[in-house]
Structure 1
Amino acid sequence: MATNHDGASAPQDIEKYSVPEAEPFVSFQALKDRIRHHYEVASDYYYSLWGEHIHHGYWITPNDSKEKAQIQLIDLILERSKFKAGSKVLDVGCGIGGTSRFLAKNHACHVTGVTISGRQVELAKKLTLEASKEEESPVSGSLRLGEGSVQFIELDAEKMGEYFTTGEKAETFDCVWISEAMSHLPDKQLFFDNAAKLLKPGGKLMVADWFKDVGLTETQFKADIAPIEDGMLLPPLCTQIEYVEKAKKAGLQVFSEPFDISKQVSKTWDLSWGLIQSPALWAFAVSQGRDGLAFFQSFRAMRRGYANGSFRYAVMVFNK
């Protein structure tokens, strides 16, 4: 075994997988196409490695399992938003539907999950059918879970404002939930504007996301943040205060100030780095070309960024 620069052990052959120089930026549409492709080919691997909740865990005690930590992150957001059972929720960037199912089953919510990936919709429906043991409604496309229900739609999040405000699909929501997905969106102001449009009066926007710290030097940015943006297929990361400013510009109010939980979630990437120490997974990364290698190697930058304080994680809540 070899020890890499961030202190983690890795098989000798993994060390040879350096990432070529970053590809020149073409357009945000090209970036979205790469994001869609990434989730089309990688979502099954995510599920096999990380389970149905493809998001950070929130460790309250060092002995918490990753599954418990993932639920604790959801619970934290619910607590800080003073969430009401039975809410009608739009889960943006729903992945394979873990949070959507949790809210429907445990809080009697009626959830619409949207994702840019058709494969994620397929997986989300499959897992929900297994959990619900009921047939999909031919009218609404929803599935019952306990006292709640859930449906999944393949949709570019930047088009959700138009999608849910036109024709027979027109509807508004008690809550818009977005966990670790807004960082993928090129036009974040558009997202806040659309969320404000789709929320009922008094409705809540709940956000959990990744951020860069304020006041980074060029050296800090290049060492810690640039590899994360590159490997995770992110447009430029924002600071936490920038999200607050964009929300206010959209006409939303701060319900719960940004709550930085970087220390409590950083273990996610220690576990993730351990989970991918398999030559077979690195062979898969190589088969995906530069983006696959950059994605896996960005895990090191995540760990380093959290350790250095340059990379941050926070939850925040806004209301209409």
Structure 2
Amino acid sequence: MIHPKQPVTPAEVARHYDTLDIFYREVWGEHLHHGLWRRRFEAPGRAVEHLVDHVAGAAGLQPGEVVCDVGCGYGATARYLARHYDAHVTGWTVSKVQFIQAVARDARNENLRYRHGDWLANNHPDGTFDVVLAIESLAHLPDKAAFFREAYRVLRPGGRLAVCAWLAADGARPWAVRHLLEPICREGRLPGLGTLTDYAAMAEAAGFRNVRHEDLSRRVARTWSVVLRRLAWRLLTRPRYARFLLDGRHADRVFLRTVVRLRLAYALGAFRYGLLVAEKPPVSSRAG
């Protein structure tokens, strides 16, 4: 597990997303996650929907099921699941700005509910959900083993967990850790970055069975080329971008550097992207 030199708290994660709200929405889009390219020439907006469809399919999501979206952002994934899968979704975000926008967009949709706070301190009763999803939020949680334990607790027997995770490559070289992965953690407000092997072991330790995973790195890496192009265009055409990046009062202005590091880390194989799917046994007690 790779950790930044300074610990990262949930409050710092929230502040990061609140501060960069307009930049994330304009440059990355309201889904705030990678796209999954099925074909070489494909619109980025369609690619992000492909990722949601891929995750929903891997989790075996059925119409009418109850879903928890951990790290829901602006609610784009929750809305997509409600619209296309008839899912009943509860989304969690630590960002107050994201929470306000998600609620405002979906105030009249009875299939969508949002919670503002730390999901590791949620008050959901045991066995509340059919599916727990975490699309790129695990890296922001300080206690990743606790995430898997909480997911196990709130799932009904037979429920499924699907996690899209930012990952360090197994056996990443020291220079890649020092110059790419540790700075990505520090600048992106990631308390830690594990491998698929790490997370599979945590899922099994929490009680999950039939744990399986898939490396999607090659199919999602193009996301950062798209983000870099969008960012470069806005730097040329929107003065507020340059003003923000040059203003030393804003610690989060280093996000431009982080985007470059991410693209390079993918190209060098130091950074990976994986999907992990697991099942809670059909009886409430842990198998063992």
TM-score (norm. length: structure 2): 0.89
- Quote the residue 1:72 is aligned against: 50
1:241 corresponds in structure 2 to 197
- Whole-angstrom CA distance in 2 between matches of 1:51 and 1:221: 28
Q: Letter of the 2:263 partner, please give it.
A: R
**Superposed CA offset, 1:129-148 (max 9, x none):** 4xxxx3xxxxxxxx23xxxx
Work out whether residues 127 and 155 of structure 2, in 8 Å CA contact, stay in contact via their aligned partners in 1: no
Does 2:84 correspond to 1:106?
yes
Deviation at 1:55, TM superposition (A): 0.6
Q: Structure 1 unaligned segments of length 5 or more: list them.
A: 1-22, 135-142
In structure 1, C-alpha distance between the alignment counterparts of 2:248 and 2:167, rounded to whole Å: 27
**Structure 1 position 157 matched with structure 2 position 112:** no
- Which residue is 1:184 aligned to? 140
SS in 2 for 1:276: helix
Deviation, 1:60, is 0.9
Q: Is the 8 A contact 2:127 2:156 kept in 1?
A: no
- Measured in 2, the distance between the counterparts of 1:306 and 1:155 equals 31
1:1-320 correspondence runs (5 A): 25=6, 27-28=7-8, 31-129=9-107, 134=108, 143-144=109-110, 149-160=111-122, 163-165=123-125, 172-255=128-211, 257-277=212-232, 278=235, 280-287=240-247, 289=249, 291-320=251-280
- Deviation (angstroms), 1:291: 3.0
- Cα distance, 1:171–1:202 mapped onto 2, change above 3 Å: closer
Give unmatched runs, 5+ long, in structure 2.
281-288
Aligned residues of 1:164 and 1:172 also touching (Cα < 8 A): yes
Q: 1:40 Cα shift?
A: 1.5
Q: Deviations over 1:139-171 (max 9, x none)?
A: xxxx23xxxx101110112212xx113xxxx76
Q: Deviations over 1:214-245 (max 9, x none)?
A: 11221121122122112111122101010000
**Pairs aligned (count):** 272
Match of 1:17?
Answer: none
Residue 251 of structure 2 aligns to a residue in which SS? helix
CA offset at residue 176 of structure 1?
0.6
Distance change >3 Å, CA 212–CA 233, structure 1 → 2 = same
Q: 1:317 to 1:304 in 2, by over 3 A?
A: same
Query: Which residue identity lines up with residue 249 of structure 1 in the other structure?
Result: A
> Aligned residue for 2:285?
none
* Partner SS for 2:278: strand
Aligned CA distance change for structure 1 residues 282 and 182 (closer, same or farther; 3 Å): farther
Task: Decide which structure has the larger Cα Rg and report it.
Answer: 1
Note closer, same or farther for the CA distance 1:37–1:286 as it changes in structure 2 (3 Å cut): farther
Match of 1:90, SS state, is strand
Alpha-carbon distance, 1:287 to partner = 3.8
> Which is bigger in relative contact order (C-alpha 8 A, separation at least 6)?
2
CA distance in 1, matches of 2:10, 2:246: 21
Aligned residue identity for 2:82: A
Q: Offset of 1:81 from its aligned partner? A: 1.9
- Provide closer, same or farther for how the CA distance between residues 288 and 121 of structure 1 changes in structure 2, counting only shifts above 3 A: farther
* Identical-residue share of aligned pairs (%): 31
